[in-house]
Amino acid sequence: MSRTGFCYVLVNPGLPGIVKVGRTIRDTNERASELWREYGTEHPFTVVSKHGVSDCCAVEALAHKLLARYRVPRSELFECRPQEAQAAIRKAARMILWSPWYLRVWYWLMLPRPQRAPKRWRRARHSWSGDLVLVVIVGLVLAGLIVFKPDVPEWIPEAVRSSLLRAESLFLRSPRI
């Protein structure tokens, strides 16, 4: 779901060296005062920066992935400088704004995920698991296109249909010996 809003960076004097990266569709100062009550800290949160973005949910999720190595476990708090958090939000906003949907999915799959506490019965995640899933999906789609060879729809103009059919014949032509 695409939501226009703000991604913000907050600091608190009671939490030195820790920043909070989050999102809101309301006023950031109002959200900071809510968080002061939620976290129960001695000092209120201060808004370091707010970035207006077209899809605050996606930008926040991507910024969290970019800052995954700094994450305080099971929270939206990160142990880094505010400038690093701001740079991550700007980079995430650029990636979301200028990338087509399939690259956004690729970023989401490939960026590091925050580590959960390991359990004895759960096997560790391998770094290549996302690559493997993507390769299998692309392979299945290509195999389906080769086997079933979908027809060019009738509603496509004749000039475009003929160029598509010519391109298909170039790719599917048997090699000359």
Read off the pLDDT of residues 75-107 as tens digits, 9 standing for 90 and up.
889 999 999 999 999 988 888 776 666 666 666
Please state the domain extents for the chain.
Answer: 5-110, 129-172
Determine the pLDDT at residue 121.
44
Of 107, 38, 112, 102, residue with least CA distance to 75: 38
| pLDDT higher than threshold 70 for residue 126 | no
pLDDT bucket at 59, cuts 50 / 70 / 90: confident
Q: Which tokens belong to 112?
A: 């590091």
List the strands of the sheet with 5-11, edge to edge. 46-53, 5-11, 19-24, 77-78
**Measured distance CA(113)–CA(126) in Å, rounded:** 11
pLDDT bucket at 2, cuts 50 / 70 / 90: low
**Measured distance CA(150)–CA(155) in Å, rounded:** 14
Determine the pLDDT at residue 122.
47
In percent, the amount of the chain with pLDDT more than 90 equals 17
